[in-house]
Structure 1
Amino acid sequence: MKKRFCKLIPAFTMLVLLFTSCAKEPTVSVIEATIDGYSVTFSVVVTDADTYLWDFGDGSTSTEAAPVHAYVSSGDYTVSVTVTGKGGEATATKAINILPSVTEMLSGGTTATNGKTWVLSTGYVAGVNGGSVVDNAMFVMLPTVENVLTVIGLGYEYDNEYTFYADGKYVVDVKNELAVTAGIYGMVNGTTKDVGNEYNTLGIYAGSYVAPASATWTLHEEDLVVKAVVNPVGTDVPVLTEDRTITGRKWVEISSDAFFGILDFPSTRKFIIKEITPEKMEVALFVCGYFPDQTAWNVPSYFYHLTYVPKN
């Protein structure tokens, strides 16, 4: 009996080796990635695989066969998957790019603990910067110039800072207790401190301002309906006003007592984002500037088209 058992051992060993040698090595094809904002659905076609190990390139992993992963911020990531089977393992990699959302470009995203601070650019681009009536076309009819605040004697107001946080917090820092202020607003509230020089025909001055202890911002994507002066260069009393609808644009609403860009009546506590990248933001600001009709002093009459850049 003992001899017979000893004869079986080599036979069993050979059988194990035979099956092991016949186990197929897993294969893995190209990784597929479907990107929806910051969420990515991954999949891969494999054969002879029992387990999966995904590395999403941001420190996160998964053992699911077809995982869905949410990235925290934009950027380039190298994703890899290693599959394991009875015959060994195989690995595939793929480079993906997550584009920044408007919220991330505006605020720096959730990883920017100090938010993102914007200041008015001293540059000028024809057809981009200047003034227009309040309408959806936003065609710039009134050009400005490079370093416009300096030209009109208010160059020190380039130090106004506007900081957006991803959680909706908003901070205005005007540095010298003076803010760029719409002329009629400053007159009505008695806050105008400096009207600039003889070249200032823009209707904006420097006025005293105390920022609120707390403020917020909200990004909107729906249409914006605003009551506006139809002909801001006329002299009619009463002046004709009508609702103007802004479509196809994202816009930001600022909480009470705060402002962005130009301090004006509460009807202007919002601005249109015309274009935004991580390096610049082109906006249309509502400005109340129709003087002949006192009942319309707080009604937006112009868009001021300005460019802001991140603070260095």
Structure 2
Amino acid sequence: MKRKLLFIGLLTALLVIGLDSCKKESEAKEPPTCDFSIKAEGLKITFTAVATNTDTYAWNFGDGQTSTEANPVHTYADGGEYEVKLVVTGEGGSAEKKIKVTVTPGLEDIKIMLTGGPGAANGKTWVLKTDSPVDGDGASAIEPNMLVLIPIPADFYGWMGKERLDGKKEEYTFKYDGSFKIDTKNDTVLAISLYAFFNGITVDQSNTPYGTCRATGYVQPAGATWEIRESDITVDAITNPSETTVPPAHGNVVFSGKKWLSLSPGSFLGFLDFSTSSNIIIKSISPTQLRVAIMVCMYQGAAAPGGADFANLPTYMYHMTFIPKP
């Protein structure tokens, strides 16, 4: 009888220990949960994991870079949309979370990408990309959506002749201190035909079907500067780009939420034109590409009596791409 009671006691103890062990094992293997939050400061993003029952973290920032920290800080090379994924693992398995993150460069980020940063003593030099058309470049009316209605023609730069080649194109150098230099080539610059005509600086036989030409005699004013702004831009523009009547219908167009490049009087980017074109909307920028919308003046009634008074009103936006000097 005593043996039987002893056996029952031992069996009970083993069952209690086993159940307790299973309970502890079950508690230790709770599946992990995974989430995260972000805080953006321009291109610099702080990621904070919100996870439980987790031992390890594996981040993929969507740009080829990764991290195993719980709360990493990551700086993207340029703006855009990135799919960020976090995978956490623990004794209870793994879990993951994906979020699409839109990264928008701040003013300081843009300044660094445009100039090379404070450590670039000679600044950063850009040239117009002319080897092949870029999708999204072309012409639009002057309106806030900046919808490109006329894609850039395949032969647009072919009309430039040798001036489209590396070493023959105007060079635009931006320095971090705010100074700006235009290095002209062949003693000529790209210009809008109407402006060149009114100023008597058109190079013979250089007019193109696209309202551009080469102009001579340009000298950049001393002490030229640049700055980036993000206040609203209000432009008095001709309503119908093909308008020929005098006076043309025109009115204020307001661009909100844009970052734009303001050049000092007499300077330009891409095309020499009336002063309106010194305010240039930055569509996007990365270390390897600058995409802009430039307002150009091509009023078709400018030669009619009284039309010259409206020649400096913009009619189109030219959407162009610049790249660092090769």
TM bucket normalised to smaller:
0.5 to 0.7
Matches within 5 A, 1:210-289: 210-289=219-298
The answer for the alignment partner of 1:98 in structure 2 is 75
The answer for the alignment partner of 1:132 in structure 2 is 140
Q: Does 2:311 match 1:297? A: yes
Take 2:40 and 2:258, find their aligned partners in 1: how far apart are those partners?
23
Q: Does 2:149 match 1:141? A: yes
Q: Does 2:212 match 1:204? A: yes
Q: Aligned letter for 1:309? A: I
Q: Cα distance 1:106–1:236, how it changes in 2: closer, same or farther (>3 A)?
A: same
Take 1:242 and 1:257, find their aligned partners in 2: how far apart are those partners?
24
Take 2:139 and 2:71, find their aligned partners in 1: how far apart are those partners?
47
Take 2:44 and 2:285, find their aligned partners in 1: how far apart are those partners?
22
Take 1:228 and 1:281, find their aligned partners in 2: how far apart are those partners?
25
Check the 8 A contact 2:242/2:300 in 1, yes or no. no
Q: Cα distance 1:146–1:311, how it changes in 2: closer, same or farther (>3 A)?
A: farther
Deviation at 1:130, TM superposition (A): 1.0
Q: Which runs of 5+ in 1 are unaligned?
A: 1-32, 42-75, 79-91
Take 2:70 and 2:179, find their aligned partners in 1: how far apart are those partners?
39
- What secondary structure sits across from 1:148 in the alignment? coil
Cα deviation digits, residues 181-240 of structure 1 (max 9, x gap): 11111011111114437xx21111000111223210010011111110000112221101
Take 2:323 and 2:294, find their aligned partners in 1: how far apart are those partners?
15
- What secondary structure sits across from 1:188 in the alignment? helix
Cα deviation digits, residues 224-273 of structure 1 (max 9, x gap): 11110000112221101100011221101100111111000112211111
Pick the aligned partner of 2:201 from 180, 191, 196: 191
Deviation at 1:149, TM superposition (A): 2.1
Count of paired positions? 233
Cα deviation digits, residues 75-121 of structure 1 (max 9, x gap): x9x9xxxxxxxxxxxxx998643346111111111121111111111
The answer for the alignment partner of 2:173 in structure 1 is 163
TM-score (norm 2): 0.64
Deviation at 1:162, TM superposition (A): 0.6
Q: Aligned letter for 2:138? A: G
Q: Aligned letter for 1:156? A: E
The answer for the alignment partner of 1:36 in structure 2 is 41
TM-score (norm 1): 0.67
Take 1:157 and 1:186, find their aligned partners in 2: how far apart are those partners?
19
Q: Does 2:296 match 1:309? A: no
Deviation at 1:142, TM superposition (A): 1.8
Deviation at 1:40, TM superposition (A): 9.6
Deviation at 1:36, TM superposition (A): 3.4
Cα deviation digits, residues 45-97 of structure 1 (max 9, x gap): xxxxxxxxxxxxxxxxxxxxxxxxxxxxxxx9x9xxxxxxxxxxxxx998643
Percent of aligned positions with the same letter in both sequences?
35
Take 2:325 and 2:40, find their aligned partners in 1: how far apart are those partners?
31
Q: Cα distance 1:182–1:96, how it changes in 2: closer, same or farther (>3 A)?
A: same
What do you get for the CA RMSD once the two structures are aligned? 2.9
Check the 8 A contact 1:157/1:178 in 2, yes or no. no
- What secondary structure sits across from 2:198 in the alignment? helix
Deviation at 1:139, TM superposition (A): 1.1
Take 2:40 and 2:320, find their aligned partners in 1: how far apart are those partners?
33
Q: Aligned letter for 1:120? A: L
Q: Aligned letter for 2:318? A: Y
Cα deviation digits, residues 145-194 of structure 1 (max 9, x gap): 346222x2444155111111111111111122211011111011111114
Pick the aligned partner of 1:116 from 102, 105, 124: 124
- What secondary structure sits across from 1:136 in the alignment? coil
- What secondary structure sits across from 1:187 in the alignment? helix
Q: Cα distance 1:93–1:282, how it changes in 2: closer, same or farther (>3 A)?
A: same
Pick the aligned partner of 2:192 from 182, 189, 213: 182
Check the 8 A contact 1:131/1:143 in 2, yes or no. yes
